[in-house]
Amino acid sequence: MESPSLFLVEERVKTFKKWPFDDKNKCNIRNMAEAGFYSVATGDEDADAAKCFLCGKELDGWEANDDPWAEHKSHASKCAFVQLGKKEDELLLLEYLSVIKQYMINETKRIAELAKEQIDDKAKSVRRRCLGRK
């Protein structure tokens, strides 16, 4: 896991290092993080690349007046976080636990998927080596 605590809004806030908009804009860091996004920027060109911690939807091309919740909703309406439609501190405990549970399930799937790819690659190279010796 890159960061196991991205389900916490404060952890998501910390990921925004080069966000292009300031607090006066609707599309500010706080609103982004509250809508479930964390930054996946790797440099200046993709400074506004952000990803949902829960559904994994990645969006960029943000504008100063974008509403992060509305964008999240229109691009990933099935996201469990969007469907709750609440900030973290407004969530009921049970709702919050369900978000964390879903996050853990998604992360586990992602890690399993990565492991499977690695095993497939390994199997391919072993197969190639075996064939090469014949």
Closer Cβ to Zn ion, 29 or 59, answer by number: 59
Q: Interface residues with Zn ion (CB under 5 A)?
A: 52, 54-55, 76, 79
Closer Cβ to Zn ion, 104 or 119, answer by number: 104
Q: Is 100 exposed, middle or buried (0-12, 13-18, 19+ CB in 10 A)?
A: middle
Q: What is the smallest separation between the CB atom of 128 and Zn ion, expressed in angstroms?
A: 39
Q: What is the smallest separation between the CB atom of 56 and Zn ion, expressed in angstroms?
A: 7
Closer Cβ to Zn ion, 77 or 118, answer by number: 77
Q: What do you get for the CA distance between the two ends of the chain, in Å?
A: 41
- Residues 74-88: b if buried by 16+ CB within 10 A, e if exposed: eebeebbbbebeeeb
